[in-house]
Every structure is written in C-alpha cells, then in structure tokens.
C-alpha cells in the first residue's frame, strides 16, 4: 500500500455544556491527491471544548503517523488556542491540557509539522465527526487508505524540466512563477478596455470576492490539493495599478507576505481607446483598429505597440527571476503581461498575445531555470472560482 508523504490533519472537538458531553473528530487527507484517507470520531464523556480539541489532535496525529511515520504533516484547526499553544506562541496553563500538550509534543518530536488556524466554516468535516461521536456516544475509525492515488504528477521532476527532451545542461536554479490576474472592476464588468494610463479603478465587490478565492487557492500551493507537489509561495510581486495592488494585498494577507511592485508588469497602454468598448473603438477608429489587429508594431493612438510592450515584459521577467532565484513567487498582473510571460515560457510567436484566455483571478503556473529552460504547469486555471 502506498504511504502518503504529505498529510493534512483537520481536527475539532466539541462539548455540549462545556464541560459536558464531549466528542472529537479528525480527518486525515493525502495532500498530494486531496483525498480523505482516514476519519476518526471519538466519544470522550464529560470534558471541556479545549480538552476535546486536544484529544482530536492526538487522534489525528496518531492516525497520520500510523499511515506513514515519516510523513510531512500540516495541522489545520479552528481552535486558535490549540494552534498557538502547539506552535509555541502561547503557554499552556490548564493542567489537563498540559498533559495532552505534552503528549502531542512527544508525537511530533523530530518530525515535520506545520500549524495553521482556519475559520470554523473550513473545518466542517472534523466538526461533523465530533458531533457524530457525541450523537452516537461511541467511537468510529473509517480508513480510505487503500484508495488508489491519482497520477497527474507521476512524471513531475522537482528539480529539473520534466520532459526528457528538454535541454540537459541546466545550471541556473529553478524559480516557480504563479501568475494571478487581478479581480474584476467596474470596467471589467462593463466590458470596457482597461489598460495603463487611463482610469485606475480598484476591485469591485465581485472582484474582491474572487480575489479571496484565488488567495485560498494560491495558499494551498505546496500544502494541499492539485499543486501540493510544488514549493510553497515565499514572495509576491505586483503591477503598480490599483486593481492588481488590491488583489495582491488580499493574497498577501492570506499568505502572511509582503508585496513588491514591478512597474514593467503593468498592463499595456491602449491610449485613446481606454475606457471604450471594442464596438465603440471599431466605430470611432475603424482604420486604426483594423491596422492594429494582429500587428507587432502598430499601436493604438497614444498607446503602446506589442513590440514596445514585449520588451518591458521581458525585462520584468529577467528582474523577477534574478530577484527570486530558487523561490516560488506570485506575480499579480493583467491579461497582456500574463500572456507575455506565458509566451516567454513557450518561446512562442506573436499569436501567443491573443490565443490564451486569461480570466479575472485565474491562476497560471510556470517554471523557469533562468533563461536556460522553462516549463508550463497550468494556464488559466479557474476551478477555485
């Protein structure tokens, strides 16, 4: 049976009376597949919420290490008390919890464990198991560990390009680039052209909601889900335009990181066309629009040509890779810079500037070994939305 190398524990405890009838629940998840491999519910008897939460954590850890004693573990709980105490930031004062805390510390000693607080609504599986224990006043352990693993990363190379056809003489370190387009604005929602140099709106209410969803998806990278095999994010770079800054700061709050600004990943300038719909532009500037479509050198009136724009996107990529060697960096930008970075990864032609669809708050993932090699992991992923 396969031993999962990366596990997530979601744990919760409850007490009906505090102290009162108590139960605990723990859910163990294979972080590489996102699949639940173990569910544990335990009836405790009379106890407090905090004691029940600690017992849930112990059960989850014992279950996880029963699957693989050497697994890397992420513990997710909505009990800030337990998370902060186990992370060593808060002292354990209550004698009952001191004993349970010592038991947890003994279980995790010498092992790779991370602690993450999550909102209560994100811990519903463990909460349901704790309530099941209280309702039935009994214990239950359900194992799904025999479930066959999914295989989308079976041919993935952590250090080098995954294809055997890729260049073999790689000397530069790997930088993983997570591209996130900004969320919607009132211009996006009214299908109006929105470049750099025109109106500079912030995110709309819907745009902010999407940005929070994108932030949670990006926070899973390196931790759980489809991209758990990638290194976790350690830096954020944003365009200077307000809609990208708004999006970047939502991601930064989720990830606990700062935001660096790169002027060269601002959106292309559409000049006099900014703020108009495509239909309005075709009606008002019919000849200019016809000449501009598909052109490398023609720019909108007082705007930017693809030739000029591409040069600054390449400059941005060089800077981002030099400043983030060996890291995973989120780049929060716009449709055209994201297309330009994808074009660079594919070493593609001019049509790469209009063929990929890049939706608001979509996620695309590239890997670069400096200017020596590149790999495309995902383009325009939107399942989190």
Grouping H, G, I as helix, E, B as strand and the rest as coil, residue 179 is: strand
Mean pLDDT calculated for residue range 8-32: 94
Note whether residue 209 is domain-resident: yes
Average pLDDT score, the chain: 92
Task: Give the model confidence (pLDDT) of 173-231 as tens digits.
Answer: 999 999 999 999 999 999 999 999 889 999 999 999 999 999 999 998 987 778 888 88
Note whether residue 168 is domain-resident: no
Residues 120 and 225 in one domain: no
| pLDDT at position 2 | 63
Q: How many domains does the chain have?
A: 2
130: left (phi over 0), alpha (psi -120 to 50) or beta: alpha
Residues 116 and 187 in one domain: no
Q: Which of 121, 143, 165 is the last residue of a domain?
A: 143
Q: Is the peptide bond before 100 cis (omega within 30 degrees of 0)?
A: no
Residues 83 and 192 in one domain: no
The CATH number of the domain holding residue 295 is: 3.40.50.1240
Phi, psi of 308, rounded to the nearest 5 degrees: -70, -45
Residues 348 and 270 in one domain: yes
CA-CA distance, 181 to 183, in Å (whole number)? 7
Residues 108 and 190 in one domain: no
| pLDDT at position 151 | 42
Note whether residue 158 is domain-resident: no
Task: Give the model confidence (pLDDT) of 131-170 as tens digits.
Answer: 999 999 988 898 876 544 444 556 788 888 988 888 878 8
| pLDDT at position 223 | 77
Question: From the candidates 10, 53, 267, 375, which is the catalytic residue?
Answer: 267
Task: Give the model confidence (pLDDT) of 227-249 as tens digits.
Answer: 888 889 999 999 999 999 999 99
Residues 212 and 285 in one domain: yes
Residues 33 and 127 in one domain: yes
First and final C-alpha spacing in the chain? 34
Note whether residue 197 is domain-resident: yes
Residues 32 and 106 in one domain: yes
Which residues span the domain enclosing 213?
175-381
Phi, psi of 129, rounded to the nearest 5 degrees: -70, -40
> Which residues lie across from 375 on neighbouring strands?
367
| pLDDT at position 147 | 43
| pLDDT at position 165 | 86
Q: Is 276 a catalytic residue?
A: no
CA-CA distance, 378 to 92, in Å (whole number)? 44
Which residue in 137, 329, 358, 345 sits closest to 237, CA to CA? 329
Note whether residue 1 is domain-resident: no
DSSP state of 271: G
Those residues with Cβ within 8 angstroms of residue 93's Cβ, 6 or more apart along the chain or in another chain: none
Note whether residue 153 is domain-resident: no
Residues 208 and 249 in one domain: yes
DSSP state of 195: -
Residues 239 and 336 in one domain: yes
Note whether residue 26 is domain-resident: yes
Angle at 210 between CA 205 and CA 216, to 5 degrees: 135
Task: Give the model confidence (pLDDT) of 243-276 as tens digits.
Answer: 999 999 999 999 999 999 999 999 999 999 999 9
CA-CA distance, 105 to 143, in Å (whole number)? 25
CA-CA distance, 308 to 24, in Å (whole number)? 61
Residues 129 and 232 in one domain: no
Note whether residue 304 is domain-resident: yes
Task: Give the model confidence (pLDDT) of 308-341 as tens digits.
Answer: 999 999 999 999 999 999 999 999 999 999 999 9
The CATH number of the domain holding residue 107 is: 3.30.420.10
Q: Are 339 and 356 in contact (CB under 8 A)?
A: yes
Least confident of 29-38, 43-52, 104-113, 198-207: 29-38
Residues 129 and 230 in one domain: no
Task: Give the model confidence (pLDDT) of 43-81 as tens digits.
Answer: 999 999 999 999 999 999 999 999 999 999 999 999 999
pTM: 0.64
CA-CA distance, 265 to 268, in Å (whole number)? 9
- How, if at all, do strands 35-47 and 328-333 pair? unpaired
Question: From the candidates 10, 39, 182, 375, which is the catalytic residue?
Answer: 182
Q: Is 53 a catalytic residue?
A: no
């Amino acid at each position: 049976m396969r031993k999962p190398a990366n596990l997530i524990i979601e744990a919760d405890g409850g007490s009906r009376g505090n102290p009162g009838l108590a139960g605990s629940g723990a859910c163990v998840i294979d972080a590489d597949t996102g699949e639940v491999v173990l569910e544990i519910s335990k009836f405790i008897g009379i106890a407090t919420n905090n004691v029940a939460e600690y017992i849930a954590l112990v059960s989850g850890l014992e279950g996880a290490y029963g699957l693989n004693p050497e697994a890397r573990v992420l513990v997710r709980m909505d009990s800030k008390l337990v998370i902060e105490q186990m992370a060593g930031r808060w002292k354990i004062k209550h004698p009952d919890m001191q004993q349970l805390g010592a038991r947890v510390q003994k279980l995790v000693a010498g092992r790779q464990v991370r602690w993450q607080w999550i909102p209560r609504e994100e811990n519903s599986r463990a909460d349901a198991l704790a309530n099941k224990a209280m309702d039935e006043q009994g214990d239950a352990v359900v194992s799904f560990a025999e479930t066959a693993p999914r295989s989308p990363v079976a041919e993935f190379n952590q250090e080098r390009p995954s294809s055997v056809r890729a260049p073999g003489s790689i000397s530069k370190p790997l930088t993983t680039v997570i591209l996130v387009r900004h969320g919607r604005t009132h211009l996006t929602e009214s299908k109006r052209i929105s470049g750099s140099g025109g109106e500079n709106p912030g995110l709309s209410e819907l745009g902010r909601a999407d940005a929070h969803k994108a932030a949670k998806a990006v926070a899973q990278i390196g931790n759980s889900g489809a991209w758990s095999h990638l290194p976790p994010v350690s830096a954020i770079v944003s365009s200077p335009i307000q809609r990208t800054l708004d999006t970047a700061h939502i991601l930064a709050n989720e990830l606990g990181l700062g935001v660096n600004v790169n002027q060269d990943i601002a959106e292309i300038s559409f000049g006099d066309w900014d703020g108009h719909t495509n239909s309005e532009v075709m009606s008002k500037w019919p000849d200019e629009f016809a000449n501009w479509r598909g052109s490398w050198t023609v720019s909108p009136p007082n705007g930017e040509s693809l030739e000029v724009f591409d040069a600054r996107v390449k400059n941005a990529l060089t800077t981002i890779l030099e400043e983030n060697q060996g890291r995973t960096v989120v780049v929060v930008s716009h449709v055209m810079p994201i297309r330009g970075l994808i074009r660079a990864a594919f070493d593609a032609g001019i049509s790469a500037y209009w063929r990929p669809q890049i939706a608001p708050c979509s996620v695309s993932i590239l890997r670069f070994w400096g200017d020596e090699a590149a790999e495309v992991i995902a383009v325009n992923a939107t399942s989190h939305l």
